[in-house]
Amino acid sequence: MNAIPATDLRRWVLTLSTGLLLGTALVLTPGTGHAQGKELPDFTELVERSGPAVVNIRTVERVRANARGLPEMDEQMQEFFRRFGIPVPNQRRGQPRNDEDLPQRRGVGSGFIISADGFVMTNAHVVDGADEVIVTMTDKREFKAKLIGADARTDVAVVKIEGAGLPLVKIGDANRLKVGEWVIAIGSPFNLDNTVTAGIVSAKARDTGELLPFIQTDVAINPGNSGGPLINMRGEVVGINSQIYSQSGGYMGISFAIPIDEAMRVADSLRSNGRVVRGRIGVGIGDVSKEVAEAIGLGKPTGAAVSTVEAGSPADKGGVEGGDIITKVDGKTIEKSGDLRRLISGIKPGTKTTLQVFRRGAYKELSVTVAEMEAEQRPRRQAEGDNKATPAQPSVLGLTVADLTDAQRKDLKLKIGVRVESVEGAAARAGLREGDIILAVDNTEIANAKQFGAVVTKLEKAKVVTMQVRRENAVSFVLVKPAK
């Protein structure tokens, strides 16, 4: 690279200094010594337009007294004492006269007004357990808020303040967001009202295991920002700042926001019913690995693998079986198990839904009537029959299997399958164990021990064998790799 002449270098430094003062990003063109300017985004208009509708939320939770009349210590503080081996001190002696004598836990968060008559959206964890919620606006007006409803599954809550003609945000479309797009957050980190931070969209549809896919950004989010809006360059709210990835408890460059379209659906349900009504079909599911997808003929790792089917559930009545791969719901493709949870939960209970499933090498369509989501039921333990069939001889895979008794078939509600009586060799290395029920081998249903033996003897010795196995109440695929 040629050296930049001293006169050009001085001119470039002067241009750089001037550009920084004017808010301009400068790029030095190699070999010319000349700077090219590109305007940085100006967020002032966005803040002036959206800021008045962003509120500070303070919460008060009265500490409950324990059986001895002493106020309960905060769990984090108790953990601190336990971790360092310090005896937990008595916080107060004597019984408090009333609730006002008890200490209070205080929290802070953010929110934004979504209607001129005072409905405010925030995070459920901001108002969780609060006895009192105080909303403060940018003009310092304070309101005592009423909790309309909170949904822990999506971390969305709605509170109501009494007012009219209040400033409100403009709701955008999270689906239009692009990775790399500028966004800003307004909130109250560490109770510092109306703090503005900016960044870009780092990723979309980030699956963190929650019910909703998140928008990932590098906008600085800290305690107190929770519940505040994520705003695009058009001044539209596209998300609710909800989580951060942190190993220290503070911001580390990664934050997550709930997509506003999903949040608004939850908010509308909370305003109408005080709760969220969701659909369910009664299956336990997991993702499909690349190895399993190739082994069973699915091709690519897509869909939701059904491990359990709740007895009497919509899925059970509709013919869904353990080991099925659900690939579509009403024509919408299921890329991973989280997609199925989100799609089904969004369907109104009582609606007939068509599921496409991949079962033993072929696709089938099943009709299922969605039910309302309820508390999960504990799976039944597998019961043993009063008598056992005569075991078959050990197979080349190291398995000894036996026919299921009539009592076992009735209890397990199975028409097919054989029970593993002993296991060694390749099967043991694959994780199979006594008591497992083998339902299929390489997409061939296994009705009895005789058929199992016939199928296994025809297998190629060096070929990986795919078995569909039921263990207790869960069905999974097991790849048995013969020893080389």
| φ, ψ of residue 476 in degrees (nearest 5) | -145, 170
Same domain? For 412 and 469 the reply is yes
Average pLDDT over residues 408-435: 84
Catalytic residue among 50, 110, 188, 226: 226
3-state secondary structure of 481: coil
Number of domains in the chain: 4
Average the pLDDT over 390-398 and give the result: 55
Q: Which domain holds residue 135?
A: 41-63+103-274
Confidence of residue 83 (pLDDT cuts 50, 70, 90): very low
164 and 242 fall within a common domain: yes
Whether the pLDDT of residue 22 is over 50: the answer is no
Asked whether residue 83 is domain-assigned, the answer is: no
Residue 443 confidence (pLDDT): 84
Residue 340, pLDDT > 50, answer yes
Residue 145 within any structural domain of the chain: yes
Angle, alpha carbons 303-308-311 (nearest 5°)? 130
Catalytic residue selected from 110, 151, 155, 442:
155
**Which of 127, 194, 197, 192 has its CA nearest to residue 158?**
127
Q: Quote the pLDDT of residue 87.
A: 53
| pLDDT at 327 > cutoff 70 | yes
pLDDT at 28: 46
Parallel, antiparallel or unpaired: strands 170-171 and 214-217: unpaired
Task: Confirm whether 125 is a catalytic residue.
Answer: yes
What is the predicted pLDDT for the residue at 73? 52
Instruction: Clarify whether residues 412 and 361 are in a common domain.
Output: no
DSSP string, 130-176: -SEEEEE-TT--EEEEEEEEEETTTTEEEEE---SS---PEE--GGG
Are the CB atoms for 167 and 52 separated by under 8 Å? yes
Instruction: Read off the pLDDT of residues 214-273 as tens digits, 9 standing for 90 and up.
Output: 999 999 988 889 999 999 999 999 999 988 766 555 667 889 999 999 899 999 989 988
- List binding-site positions: 125, 155, 224-226
pLDDT at 49 over 90: yes
User: Does 165 lie in the same domain as 243?
Assistant: yes
The answer on 327 and 193 residing in a single domain is: no
455-481 confidence digits (pLDDT tens):
888 887 778 888 889 887 788 888 888
Catalytic residue chosen out of the listed positions 125, 207, 261, 411: 125
Return binding residues for substrate: 125, 155, 224-226
Q: Who wins on pLDDT, 238 or 401?
A: 238
Averaged over 319-342, what is the pLDDT? 91
Look-up: residue for tokens 């090219």? Answer: 36
Question: Is residue 406 among the annotated active site residues?
Answer: no
Helix or strand or coil: residue 243?
A: strand
199 and 52 in a common domain: yes
pLDDT category of residue 53 using cuts at 50, 70 and 90:
very high
- pTM higher than the cut 0.75: no
387: pLDDT strictly greater than 70? no
